[in-house]
């Protein structure tokens, strides 16, 4: 069993924020695999899918971003899922918009959702980092990630990228992260950087 977590903040007010691209990705995967409606469990919204040979739990914490670990830790403990079988999809300001990177373990790079998960789960889980760009000034990061994607972003790269992620997520769940990244890149080309180039 795998736990696939999308990070974001609950409620309509935040639904199209850059910070909520993890929620958007999990929703795209749920649509792709015809999941039934989410259920409220473990301080979050939970749905189940069969993706390839894997039984996958799709999970959106409803604790607000900074307390995501409370929900993720509770779900992982209940289902006895090891950190290495958890993948977290989240926004990454240090990647240009539409760029995707995957890694297991490592630091949280100042991301409060990851910091919370580290506290409850440890750091040995997979991170699917989706670039949303950087405003260029540290003091503007918080208002920037809490802004909505504009219509041109949603139609131009957010929707197509999330479709590519949903179509190829089986590769990540079958322990071939490099193939997953390569196939997403083959299906989707990020737009030219409009805010900053990649930092990492």
Which residues partner with 174 through β-bridges?
none
Query: From the CA atom positions of the chain, what is the Rg in Å?
Result: 15
Q: Whole-angstrom Cα distance, residue 14 to residue 50? A: 29
Which residues partner with 55 through β-bridges?
50
At 44-58, the pLDDT tens digits run 999 999 999 889 999
Q: Whole-angstrom Cα distance, residue 117 to residue 57? A: 17
Q: Whole-angstrom Cα distance, residue 99 to residue 95? A: 6
19 noted as active-site residue: yes
Domain 2-187 carries which CATH code?
3.40.50.1470
- Cα→Cα distances 143→37, 51, 129, Å: 31, 36, 20
Q: Judge whether residue 200 has pLDDT over 60.
A: no
pLDDT of residue 193: 53
pLDDT of residue 36: 83
Domain assignments of the chain as residue spans, ordered by start: 2-187
> Which tokens is 22 given?
């993890």
Determine what percent of the chain is predicted with pLDDT higher than 90: 89
- How many other C-beta atoms lie within 10 A of the C-beta of residue 178? 10
Which of 19, 90, 111, 134 does the annotation list as catalytic? 19
At 82-109, the pLDDT tens digits run 999 999 999 999 999 999 999 999 988 8
At 131-178, the pLDDT tens digits run 999 999 999 999 999 999 999 999 999 999 999 999 999 999 999 999
Closest CA to 121 of 173, 75, 185, 161: 75
């Amino acid at each position: 069993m795998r736990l696939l977590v999308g990070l974001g903040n609950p409620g309509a007010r935040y639904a199209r924020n850059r910070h909520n691209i993890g929620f958007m990705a999990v929703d795209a995967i749920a649509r792709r695999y015809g999941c039934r409606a989410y259920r409220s469990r473990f301080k979050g919204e939970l749905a189940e899918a069969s993706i390839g040979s894997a039984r996958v739990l799709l999970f959106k914490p409803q604790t607000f971003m900074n307390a995501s670990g409370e929900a993720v830790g509770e779900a992982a403990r209940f289902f006895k899922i090891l950190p290495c079988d958890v993948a977290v999809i989240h926004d990454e300001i240090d990647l240009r918009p539409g760029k995707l990177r995957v890694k297991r373990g490592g630091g949280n790079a100042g991301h409060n959702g990851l910091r919370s998960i580290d506290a409850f789960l440890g750091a040995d889980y997979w991170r699917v980092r989706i670039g949303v760009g950087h405003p260029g000034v540290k003091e503007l990061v918080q208002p920037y990630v809490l802004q909505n994607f504009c219509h041109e972003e949603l139609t131009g790269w957010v929707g197509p990228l999330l479709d590519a992620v949903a179509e190829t997520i089986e590769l990540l769940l079958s322990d071939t992260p490099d193939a997953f990244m390569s196939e997403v890149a083959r299906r989707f080309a990020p737009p030219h950087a409009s805010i900053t180039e990649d930092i990492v």
